Structure 1
């Protein structure tokens, strides 16, 4: 427990800010709740509440009613950090993640259709297959009116019947687990990069200059070794930063 003197709430908020600056809390992460602050710092609920309010007033965090207080991504110049290989990070939906970081998300559907034939995608030298019928969703993902991601997902309608009736701004991982009782065991992902020219037919980012683009190919695999989702997406390379979460065998 750290010593607390005068202006207790300010000392607490500055301590949390220092943890944000050194990366212990990243944009979109949930920071300690009022009760957790009371327990860790040994202060009253009034002081804890003031500390959280101070973080909001200084622009470091944002409270979402019923969810908690989350670290803001303070500028659009700061790249959005996403973690490969992390089911926990991927479980948070695009909209939910951006709102927690302080951005206003939006998506525009370019195509939503049912493919009767199966699809396959090569990832890391292996082909992953979903037998038909398959739901295909191609959409543009926005943050504050800026296209951040050009996303194409393929979802098994055998494992997830009628999932095509859901809105596309949801967290599909939560739907897999909560609605269809599927246990996601692991992900297979590859990340590469390319350049998009402004006149390129695949370029939906709406910019008039060449931009770097991350290409993410991903397979979501259940505990029964069934592929429930394949994804082929483009991320703006000047807006994203990717981390890697390793799971060594012990």
Structure 2
């Protein structure tokens, strides 16, 4: 199967970066040069360059040209957020261990700050999705998600109720290979998170976290291909069930 021209351009530029032909901080071919080299249109060249910018290989400067990034973003970095059973790789976990996610959906909620983050229009309604992650009787994660009601399809509701992720659905609907996302990670304690814990419905109030329990707090915003925010979420994770593993593959 023949690869699209923009993919050919992308891979050629990546190979030149990895081989050292295009060094960090150095200028690469202009749009005009790329059009001539590959015999393609401006649209094809722009798409290839934009993808490489989004993937962290290049940076574009208005009126100057396109450059290889000086930092490590153009190198391969594997970033894994390790989930609730971190010790599973080194220790045997009981076969009787039960993992589950309990989901509650609330439509027509009012959260002015969130509505502004998602740029909702006056006639649009906000949906709040509360998800509680459990291992046996232990609550290890609380996630509060928000999106426009118009985005929530029956398929997405089924995925949520099955404990699934919506990321793949977002990518499919927006024709994206990579889902734009902004994430902020903070460390806090439950004592200061009453505003979040108070959002949990009464029928789900079996969270037995003690006051001053250390937690990891993640705020995430997902965007569509027009850079419009489509989901905002706050997640609290029990300190025993969160770790980050970063592997760097240098050139």
Query: Under TM normalisation by the shorter chain, which class is it?
Result: 0.3 to 0.5
Instruction: Answer with 1 or 2: which has the greater Rg.
Output: 2
- Using the size of structure 1 for normalisation, the TM-score is 0.47
Identify, as 1 or 2, the structure richer in strand.
Answer: 1
Identify, as 1 or 2, the structure richer in helix.
Answer: 2
